[in-house]
Amino acid sequence: MHIDALLRADRTRSFEFFPTKSDAEAATLEETLRELSPLEPSFVSVTYRGGAESRQRTFDLVSRIQGETGIVAMAHLICVGHRRDELREILESYLEHGVTNVMALGGDVPDDPALAAADLQYASELVELVKSVGDFSVGVAAHPLGHPRSPSLESDRHYLAQKLAQADFAVTQFFFEAHDWISLVNDLADRGITKPVVPGVIPVTTLSGIPRMATMGAAVPASLVERLERAHEVGGPAAVRQAGIDAATEMCRTLLDEGAPGLHFYTMNRSTATREIHSALYGV
């Protein structure tokens, strides 16, 4: 099943995982998959860091989820570190294993310049290549606050509109205020782009997580920081965790009220917080 077809049929609920690097991480992910499967996600996605080892871990996990669980799985794929023929080979292998959904990304530039060589530079080029290889549904990334490497928000929106015109849908980086997604969607509509943009969600459940969120792609707004700090003063870490989950749930409700086509949960390979938000929203 193509994700763009799922989005046309109904609102989606989806989860994101990353490939594991150790037996302990693998055991945690297995438990997470068992706990989240009963929630019947519309699809799941698996991230990709680049390099042959990471590529194989992503391929193995996506193929296993697709083949063994029956859940629609989407593979992330990046330009960085790949030649065009290598990307074609990866895509053809996915088709052979029944994986027909791809998230096309530019990719982060690695510290080692030797690993950065690539025939394609931009995600829009990768979208074009994926479409030429076979019958894929292709998603792209959107950044409500602008990509960290973009010179301006205007520039970021311009290029997002260009690549989304070629792709089938977008999934956003996480953010913490509903109006960021609303502004993004309205801006794209003004540019003639009305394809689905699925908001990405992650709760902030610890005070130590606040600075980490900024390095991962989106700073926690001052109003939420204050809310979490007040919670800590009253009830310590447990109260912070609950306040973070409550804030994420409230934002999700607003997003759905504003017409979001679905919700995409960044699980960090753990299920507890995601299940709590999901239960509050959907009763499951």
Question: What pLDDT tens digit does each residue of the chain (284 aa) get?
Answer: 999 999 999 999 999 999 988 889 989 999 999 999 999 999 999 998 666 777 788 899 999 999 888 899 999 999 988 899 999 999 999 999 999 999 999 987 665 555 566 899 899 999 999 999 999 999 999 999 998 888 999 999 999 999 999 999 999 999 999 999 999 999 999 999 999 999 999 999 999 999 999 888 799 999 999 999 999 999 999 999 999 999 999 999 999 999 999 999 999 999 999 999 999 999 98
> Domain 3-282 belongs to what topology?
TIM Barrel (3.20.20)
Can you give the pLDDT at residue 118?
80
Q: What is the pLDDT of residue 12?
A: 98
**What pLDDT is recorded for position 116?**
62
The whole-number pLDDT of residue 110 equals: 62
pLDDT of residue 87: 94
User: What pLDDT shows up at residue 150?
Assistant: 87
For residue 207, CA distances in Å to 67, 211, 212, 221, 233 come to 39, 8, 10, 13, 12
Among residues 133, 148, 158, 10, the alpha carbon closest in space to that of 75 is found at 133
pLDDT at 217: 78
Report the 3 state secondary structure along 183-232: HHHHHHHHCCCCCCEEEEECCCCCCCHHHHHHHHCCCCCHHHHHHHHHHH
Domain parsing of the chain, residue ranges: 3-282
For residue 86, the model assigns a pLDDT of: 92
- Among candidate residues 16, 125, 177, 276, the one labeled active-site is 16
The answer to whether 16 is a known catalytic residue is: yes
